[in-house]
Amino acid sequence: QEKLDMSTYPVESIRNFSIIAHVDHGKSTLADRLLEITGTISKTDRNKQVLDKLQVERERGITVKAQSASLFYNHEGINYLLNLIDTPGHVDFSYEVSRSLSACQGVILVVDANEGIQAQTVANFYLAFEAQLSIIPVINKIDLKNADPERVEKQIEKLFDISRDECIRISAKQGTNVEKVLQEVIEKIPPPQCNTADPLKALVFDSTFDHYRGVIANIALFGGEIAKGQKIVSAHTKKRYEVNEVGILTPNEQPAHKLYAGQVGYLIAGMKEVTEAQIGDTLFLYKQPVEPLPGFKSAKPMVFAGMYPIDQTEYNNLKSALERLTLNDSSVTVHRDSSLALGAGWRLGFLGLLHMEVFNQRLEQEYNMSVILTAPTVPYKAVLSSAKLIKEYGKDQITIINPAQFPDKLSVSEYLEPVVLGTIVTPHEYIGKIITLCQDRRAVQKDMLYIDENRVMLKYLF
């Protein structure tokens, strides 16, 4: 197939953006419509959630893994390149969201006209707001008979301080007004701040593993240009590679001659080991080192469980499956572990229970691995009081992720458990029961705000 020439898209005609929303507010459907309008995919019934490629995503109807796609759009006689970086909506995957936003200059905030603002809308809004991105509010599902866009506009104005004239009312399912969203993306979101004349600086924001071609890295260029045959170096591992192929994702890979500053695409450079494409790594040209880009806050696992092969002869197969899957899902932590009853295995750390289920489901579907998963626990901290133990660990506070490693209680002055700041959005008739429930669980109320006549937002420290 013919290679694309990407030099016709200078930085000022590039827009990098994400769509953020609560689960089921129609984010993936809106992405499908945008892909159709720009002619990236053809209009057929098969285009349901094109960017949700994993089997588990299609079965559960949720987005787990961030994907990206480049759209070409002509607005007032100028050809624009719009890079859409898809994000998950579920709280367990908010790490994927913050990762996607680091490659963007703006976001489309989707709210369901029927359900209004939900807890995850609030959380994702603050992620985008802290990253100082332009925000375009979109009210979706106006075709439903219970839709009440007026009420949702008031909520957006009250909670996010965005004027209601800026809200765009659409129906992603029917395609109503979606064209307007693309025009707003071009007019409201600034182009990336970077220059092709600078030395190459590329951020790896995702990576996948292909059995034939090795590691495929998704990159956002913050400076310079990259082409086949160039020698590049990873700032993280200091290893040298030769570029075999670069291109853009229209969700499927399309090779290009070169990628330029401000563009988002993929790169294949003969990385054989899954650990070589570290997410958050910076790539630069050999002998032209640059200041690496600030990486991401690494995700903090909050749920730990033991994983063991059903049969010990499967140990090595499971080990390689885990290595590949953790490349693709960088927020899982892995520690070697062994138990008297189950033999050798691992202790895995996840962001939450849904994350753990999805990971287990992907092991079964993508690698045919059946495993024994032990009951999940949360990490505890112990403040040590015995001088002998403090000397042994070299510190007076230790984190315990495995119940088998609990220190003797005579040598501990206190145990600490994790706390969470929870945002609860609820109809006000349930408020009494919810407050009682929270108090029973030793929660401390931090904030209470009426979003409109019948919705309340509570903040509790659990």
Tell me the per-residue pLDDT of 423-451, one tens digit each, with 9 for 90 and over. 888 888 888 898 899 889 888 888 888 87
Beta-carbon contacts of 238 under 8 Å, excluding residues fewer than 6 positions away, are: none
Same domain, 162 and 58: yes
Same domain, 124 and 272: no
Domain boundary among 232, 254, 285: 285
Residue 57 has pLDDT above 70, yes or no: no
Domain boundary among 285, 311, 342: 285
Question: What pLDDT score was predicted for residue 91?
Answer: 47
> CATH number, domain at 219?
2.40.30.10
Give the whole-angstrom CA distance, residue 84 versus residue 80.
12
Same domain, 333 and 366: yes
The total number of structural domains that make up the chain? 5
Question: What pLDDT score was predicted for residue 66?
Answer: 47
Residue 79 has pLDDT above 80, yes or no: yes
Same domain, 117 and 34: yes
Same domain, 436 and 410: no
Residue 183 has pLDDT above 80, yes or no: yes
246: tokens are: 């670069």
Residue 50 has pLDDT above 70, yes or no: no
298 is a domain residue: no
Tell me the per-residue pLDDT of 254-276, one tens digit each, with 9 for 90 and over. 888 888 888 888 888 877 766 67
Which structural domain, as residue segments, surrounds residue 259?
201-285
Average pLDDT, the chain: 79
Same domain, 114 and 179: yes
Q: How confident is the model at residue 52 (pLDDT cuts 50, 70, 90)?
A: very low
429 is a domain residue: yes
204 touches 189 (CB < 8 A): no
Q: How confident is the model at residue 86 (pLDDT cuts 50, 70, 90)?
A: low
Same domain, 129 and 27: yes
Same domain, 426 and 409: no
Question: What pLDDT score was predicted for residue 339?
Answer: 82
Same domain, 98 and 172: yes
Tell me the per-residue pLDDT of 222-250, one tens digit each, with 9 for 90 and over. 888 888 888 888 877 788 888 888 888 87
Same domain, 442 and 384: no
